[in-house]
Structure 1
């Protein structure tokens, strides 16, 4: 076997037997569009343990960040991580949806795939760490009900939504907020991964109807077991 064949075999073994999850947004692209649109407030819905906040600081964003996260363990880690950043606020533990109330969040072995929706068979096939290791009751609020607690008139707002199948409900509960948003980032599933999830086409139609234009599309999750792309991140701005 040639050296090149050996290298290729190891590459296949390393990548094809795993789900590839969430590479960073191309930093020069995201940094440029955030700067061009003069964003000064990022609403991070589904913050998990603060990956988006960290990435924003890495690419040079110096404005305010407000993070929302419902999972108790992730919220605690997120709060600790943001504590040293005066412009990074973590809201009290809450899930963002289309109504105000309470719900159960299913905590997966990998906390970033935890969801208010049960994972379906394809998700379990694609990502073994979907296995549920606990459940927690969480408050639920709409973004519209919380917006004025964190935003000021004149803010240039970038809204990031990564809620593992709950994206449509977040958008429905943000009908007034979305009128004030300049940039929007949404994780889109190319096939349903959670029971009741709305996939990419309907969400794209909703976002298009709000006059957002696509700026960046980025691969996030590919499943070698299913031999297909599962999700992408889509970034939109109003021109």
Structure 2
């Protein structure tokens, strides 16, 4: 092989593989999100991760595989995904599970169950969501207990500080944050789903959530692409990560 071609073929192969994956609506990237998230947890010394809207434990499984070793508290209100969540966490003594919806108050709430499970929400779904993902249409309702982040964490007095809060609750993010009023000052980081256009009736959009978190002393750190309308390419939701500058400085 000519010397000037050494190192060229591997790059060409990588490009060919990526193009082939793209044809199947899949991308191959360096430094993928789970690895970056685990690196952030290590940078901030995150020792407790509160996973709100856990479904069957996909997020916790992802961060564990990426190298996060601290405590996880996963909350899921719906009985079927919670059963899978509890089974997935059964062999991990630092992974705690709660069948709970999290919001601004303690009580009980009705959750709309989506056909794809992970689009389930306390809020009514709007046509913009259904048009982009018809399989997410609601198929049933289920009552579930509701608590707040503040109250939840009082039951885990053994958990260490250096907290990160992850919120994926399909339009109900504002209420979860209102229920974390006391916890916000303890948070080193927040990962929250941000909607750029209304997908659920009554939800707060990206600008409101960003304003609330920045007013609590957290700064934007990263954005991760999320739910897109495959017909138009428009991004409807993304995940925002917000970090407390003092937590970085302390490390």
Q: Residue 183 of structure 2 corresponds to which residue in structure 1?
A: 177
Unmatched runs of 5 consecutive residues or more in structure 1 = 1-6
Q: 1:52 offset after TM fit, Å?
A: 1.0
Partners of 1:10 and 1:144 lie apart in 2 by 43
Label 1:199 to 1:155 Cα distance change in 2 as closer, same or farther (>3 A): same
Partners of 1:51 and 1:10 lie apart in 2 by 23
Number of aligned residues = 225
Q: Is the aligned partner of 1:57 residue 2:64?
A: yes
Partners of 1:147 and 1:159 lie apart in 2 by 11
Label 1:66 to 1:154 Cα distance change in 2 as closer, same or farther (>3 A): closer
Q: 1:183 offset after TM fit, Å?
A: 1.0
Of 219, 225, 229 in structure 1, the residue corresponding to residue 231 of structure 2 is: 225
Q: Residue 106 of structure 2 corresponds to which residue in structure 1?
A: 100
Partners of 2:116 and 2:75 lie apart in 1 by 18
- The aligned runs of 1:1-239 (5 Å cut-off) are 14-15=24-25, 26-91=33-98, 93-152=99-158, 155-239=161-245
Label 1:85 to 1:204 Cα distance change in 2 as closer, same or farther (>3 A): same
Label 1:58 to 1:10 Cα distance change in 2 as closer, same or farther (>3 A): closer
Q: 1:76 offset after TM fit, Å?
A: 0.7
User: Could you say what secondary structure the match of 2:121 adopts?
Assistant: coil
Q: Residue 4 of structure 1 corresponds to which residue in structure 2?
A: none
Q: 1:225 offset after TM fit, Å?
A: 2.5
Label 1:109 to 1:179 Cα distance change in 2 as closer, same or farther (>3 A): same
Partners of 2:209 and 2:51 lie apart in 1 by 18
Q: 1:189 offset after TM fit, Å?
A: 0.5
Q: Which has the higher strand share?
A: 1
CA contact (8 A) 2:47 2:160 kept: no
Q: 1:227 offset after TM fit, Å?
A: 3.6
